[in-house]
Amino acid sequence: MKNFVASVCVVIIFSVFSCNTGPRWQDLFNGEDLSGWVQQGGDATFEVVDNTIVGTSVMNTPNSFLCTMETFSDFILEYEFRVDPLLNSGVQIRSHSDPDYMNGRVHGYQVEIDPSERAWTAGIFDEARRGWLYPLSGPEHEDARNAFRSNRWNKVRVEAVGDHIKTWLNDVPVVNMYDDKTADGFIALQVHSIRDASMEGTQVMWRNIRIITRNPERFLTETTAPEVSYLTNRLTDNEIAEGWRLLFDGETASGWRGACRDHFPEHGWKIEDGVLTVLSSRVEGGIRGGDILTEEIFSDFDLKLQARITPMANSGIKYFVREYPGDNGCAPLGPEFQIIDNNYRSPLNEDQVMGSLYDLKAPENVRLNPVGQWNNIRIVVSGDHVEHWLNGFKIVEYNRQSEDFDRRVAESKFHDVEGYGKIDGHILLQEHRDEVSFKSIKIRTF
């Protein structure tokens, strides 16, 4: 009898322990009314119908958001949605509405709902801030794009713990992103603004909205989605394993020197708060610091960094740079990813705008963040193939050994530069008398 009682106690204790170790889901929507939610932004309507939140579009009103009154930091969120094929929508996470920011406009991370042929559902858009952070534009995202079910219910899972955000659409991995801009905020359901009368009354619906906020790190899911990181001057564990390293440590000029010099410039550049900035020499007393370049020479590489321009600024990132003798004793030359305020000179030639292969090839599909905001830049060199990327989109590609490239160089001001773009060289940040900032400069060599 004692053994039986002891066995029962063990079973009861084990059962209680097992229940306590499982995820504790909290319903964000009670299925009956909108208790705990408040509308902000536009005047689209939100109502409860058959245990479902239904958002209905209204003409000529801004984006409308149904926001939780509670804020959340680390969590796992799941919900189901169904959307009219004509209507764009999304779910905000870690978002805010501050009176001193764009008159209270809702801003923050948005988990996209995109029923269009583009099919970027569950990608991450930074609403009213930086634009697309995790678009599904490349071939590596084909499975994620195909996961959306038109005119049917879809299920999304979001894991936001620390600076790591992951999403799934109908159990297919979509987003794998690191970003440290916002650590907490409300969750909101969006009905997008419309300007076409034929779209008035289109709807998006949500149900089964639930969240884990207690120890969510214990219930995280592995993902195979491609990793993207916006961490400032930091590498993720996966980046380190893949061979990435920082070219700028955020604190010193280690690894850099002035072009055609053996030391870093004494004037004209500063390092502050993890940002490397070339100062404007157009101000009274301004001193030109000159270009800076890596001490190391590179051949095949994948380079990523963030750049921020000031109004009317001009700069660039050059690669395969060699220091050629010139009229002034030395000229650091190489192909250039143009960095410029497109209003710098109006009109600029198409091969001189932001992201162009300067003076040689115009960019395509440019998604440019406004002056004063950070733009994400990537330059990939694999053998003779070169690509320019801006904010997650490939905008230029060329073969540096092709007849087309040779023709473009021959017709440019670089026509008499021996080996232009064909010889391994330094990476250079250009000083062009204007203030431009750089951070999170990292590289992987092949």
| 226 DSSP 8-state letter | P
Common-topology check for domains 24-227 and 237-445: yes
Using the 8-state DSSP alphabet, how is residue 237 labeled?
H
What pLDDT score does 325 carry? 83
**How far, in Å, CA of 178 to CA of 230, rounded?**
6
Retrieve residue 52's tokens: 């479902």
User: Which phi and psi angles does 415 have, rounded to 5°?
Assistant: -60, -25
CATH superfamily, domain 24-227, is Exo-inulinase; domain 1 (2.60.120.560)
What per-residue confidence (pLDDT) applies to 3? 54
Sorted by where each begins, the domain ranges of the chain are: 24-227, 237-445
CATH top-level class of 237-445: mainly beta
Instruction: Write out residues in the chain with pLDDT < 70, as ranges.
Output: 1-20, 327-328
Radius of gyration in angstroms for the set of CA atoms belonging to the chain, rounded to a whole number: 26
Q: What's the whole-model pTM score?
A: 0.89
Identity of the amino acid at 225: A
For residue 263, CA distances in Å to 145, 253, 267, 292, 300 come to 49, 10, 12, 9, 26
Contacts of 95 (CB under 8 A, 6+ apart): 67, 106, 107, 108, 109, 110, 127, 182, 185, 186, 187, 188
Token pair of 326, please?
A: 């010139």
Q: Cis omega (within 30 of 0) on the bond before 363?
A: no
Query: HSE of 193 in the Cβ direction (CA atoms, 13 Å)?
Result: 8
Per residue in 101-147, pLDDT (tens digit) is 999 999 999 999 999 999 999 999 999 999 999 999 989 999 999 99
pLDDT at 10 (0 to 100): 42
pLDDT for residue 24: 96
Contact partners, residue 93, CB within 8 Å, separation at least 6: 72, 77, 108, 109, 110, 111, 158, 160, 165, 185, 187
Percent of the chain with pLDDT over 90: 91
